[in-house]
Amino acid sequence: MYISKIVKEIAEGNDQSFYHGPKSFQNLRDKKKGVVFPVCYLSMPVRGRGVKSKQGFSGAEKTIEILFAERSDFSADTEEGHIDIIERMDDAAHKFVNQLLHHAEINDVLEYDTVDVINMFDANLSGVILTATVKTKDLRPNCP
């Protein structure tokens, strides 16, 4: 299963709207336009690294960047408006990492980090950007 399908599966299970694509192409809008918050936005491209050996062992790592965010008020006070959202989205990001770790198609979460953000994109989103490197189950054969 490709990593974007895994991310989508987990996000939808957490009642988050899933989107993916290059950051420069994103066009998130408010509920009036059909976007339901909170969002789980998988940035593209997804970076991958693989290892193949003659003994038949292979491995694949994917580095993903995901924005967990809710709509914020551009003029909101940082403490009141943004920090509450960031705290909820940080909890969502850590829950996501735990779910990713226990997903049947993932061997391991090798490392991850988060960055708090405010007023991103055209929809004034605040939340957390999660960057994670995961080891996926790559069962493709090493045959020529």
Q: In the chain, what are the domain boundaries?
A: 3-136
pTM: 0.85
User: If pLDDT is split at 50, 70 and 90, which confidence band does 57 have?
Assistant: low
| CATH class held by domain 3-136 | alpha beta
Closest by CA to 70, choosing from 35, 23, 20, is 35
**Residue 31: burial class (beta carbons within 10 Å; 0-12, 13-18, 19+):** exposed
Q: In degrees rounded to 5, what are phi and psi of residue 6?
A: -65, -45
Residues 6+ apart with CB under 8 A from 143: none
For residue 37, what pLDDT is reported?
Answer: 82
User: ∠ at Cα 46 (61, 131), nearest 5°?
Assistant: 75
Q: 9: which DSSP letter?
A: H
pLDDT computed for residue 51 by the predictor: 76
Amino acid residing at 63: T
Q: pLDDT tens, 58-100?
A: 778 999 999 999 988 766 666 677 888 999 999 999 999 999 9
